[in-house]
């Protein structure tokens, strides 16, 4: 029997959204999933910001594609990448695509490629919009690839001292993760509740393409499962030396000779105080403002998952579908498609979202008194803040909001 062939992958990189310092880790990661047969990178190479790519492109045999920026504020490289992707698709010479970008503009492209039977892998930063992540078969965060890059050893004559390693994480083990694993086990488990670990991993990826044990600081899924007390593992011998099959199930409680399945959701609620550990929703159409918000929140030592949207329509769809209880929503007033005011009114008119009682704060550079009055008299908002120009002032105002809601009682806490 012939061994399975590697997937032939077209690797298409958006240079405007990805740093050249990540290229080695990216190419090593891509090699795990298939053989890169096309390797192209798109950008306006006349820009000084892209000069760092020159050396690494030669080392990795990546072909640069020049695309001039015809107008200010429009990314013409995106269009060039999309056109090339469709040309490669119809050539019939690849089995899948790897799109390296944190830009939601490639969401429709990824969806179209999957409709054509292609495997689509995405690589980008944690700030990547959920819509693009969901459109991929698998999405890998650059932050975990950076963590795997080890500096070369330094020769020294001094005595070696043990170095304590620190896990690098981009997500935390929370109620959402445990529910995801528990639901996936229930979907595919045998009558005895056990499911093969490899099959479980595939099932989770179908539901959440950005799932990866490395997001939580673990190299392998078995190590992650071992550290979650709601699940148990069974190593089954295969008859071959040192070869075992790993099975997982939700733990069960035995009492009075009767067996009952552990209720995962109840246990999770006892373990995690919601909604304070829930995701922080940021609705902002300016990428620079997003970056500042993320930096401030991390500097304040909050480890909540950050979920970004650049418009109210996508944010509203996410809130309707997510099983998470968000900690808080920060929303700009001026947004494309619909304003922040209109978005908040939609939430107030939605019965289930009103029950969630998600703290909602307007955070905008544009503050006029009429908008403030409308927000407080016609909607259920919990704050209206003006974005300051000073980083320290921004940090101060966000810290005040967080401190208040950390102490405040909440219907769902």
Q: What is 349-385 written as a DSSP string?
A: H-HHHHHHT--EEEEES---HHHHHHHHHHS--S-EE
d(CA 101, CA 129): 11
Q: What is the pLDDT of residue 336?
A: 83
Q: 265: pLDDT confidence band, cut at 50, 70 and 90? A: very low
d(CA 186, CA 250): 9
CA-nearest of 293, 275, 300 to 176 is: 275
**Domains of the chain: residue spans and CATH:** 7-148 (3.40.50.1010), 175-271 (3.30.420.610), 280-407 (3.40.50.2300)
How many residues in the chain? 413
What pTM does this model have?
A: 0.58
Locate 39 and state its tokens. 């390797």
d(CA 109, CA 24): 25
How does pLDDT run across 127-180, given as a tens digit for each residue? 999 999 999 999 999 998 876 655 555 555 455 554 444 456 788 888 889 999
Q: What is the pLDDT of residue 258?
A: 33
Mean of pLDDT over the chain: 82
């Amino acid at each position: 029997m012939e061994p399975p062939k590697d997937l032939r992958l077209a690797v298409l990189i958006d240079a405007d959204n990805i740093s050249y310092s990540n290229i080695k880790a990216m190419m090593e990661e891509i090699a795990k999933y298939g053989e890169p047969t096309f390797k192209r990178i798109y950008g306006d190479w006349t820009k000084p910001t892209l000069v760092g790519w020159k050396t690494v492109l030669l080392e990795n045999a990546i072909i640069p594609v020049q695309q001039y920026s015809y107008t200010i504020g429009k990314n013409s490289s995106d269009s060039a990448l999309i056109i090339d992707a469709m040309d490669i698709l119809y050539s019939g010479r690849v089995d899948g695509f790897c799109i390296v970008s944190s830009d939601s503009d490639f969401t429709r492209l990824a969806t179209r490629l999957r409709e054509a039977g292609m495997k689509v892998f995405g690589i980008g930063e944690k700030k990547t919009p959920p819509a693009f992540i969901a459109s991929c078969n698998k999405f890998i965060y650059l932050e975990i690839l950076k963590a795997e890059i080890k500096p070369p050893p330094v020769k020294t004559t001094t005595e070696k001292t043990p170095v304590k390693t620190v896990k690098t994480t981009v997500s935390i083990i929370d109620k959402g993760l445990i529910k995801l694993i528990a639901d996936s086990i229930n979907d595919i488990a045998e009558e005895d509740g056990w499911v093969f670990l490899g099959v479980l991993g595939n099932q989770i990826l179908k539901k959440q393409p950005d799932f990866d044990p490395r997001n939580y600081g673990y190299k392998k899924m078995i190590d992650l499962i071992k550290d979650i007390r709601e699940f148990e593992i069974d190593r089954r011998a295969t008859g071959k030396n040192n070869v075992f099959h790993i099975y997982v199930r939700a733990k069960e409680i035995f009492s009075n000779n009767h067996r009952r399945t552990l209720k995962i959701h109840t246990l999770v609620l006892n373990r995690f105080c919601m909604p304070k550990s829930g995701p922080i929703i940021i609705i902002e159409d300016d990428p620079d403002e997003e970056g500042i918000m993320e930096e401030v929140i991390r500097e304040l030592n909050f480890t909540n998952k950050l979920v970004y949207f650049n418009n109210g329509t996508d944010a509203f769809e996410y809130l309707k579908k997510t099983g998470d209880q968000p900690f808080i929503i920060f929303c700009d007033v001026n947004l494309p498609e619909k304003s922040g005011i209109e978005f908040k009114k939609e939430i107030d008119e939605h019965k289930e979202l009103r029950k969630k009682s998600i703290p909602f704060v307007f955070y905008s550079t544009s503050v006029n008194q009429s908008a403030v009055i409308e927000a407080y008299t016609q909607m259920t908002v919990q704050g209206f803040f003006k974005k300051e120009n000073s980083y320290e002032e921004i940090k101060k105002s966000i810290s005040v909001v967080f401190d208040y809601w950390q102490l405040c009682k909440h219907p769902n806490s």
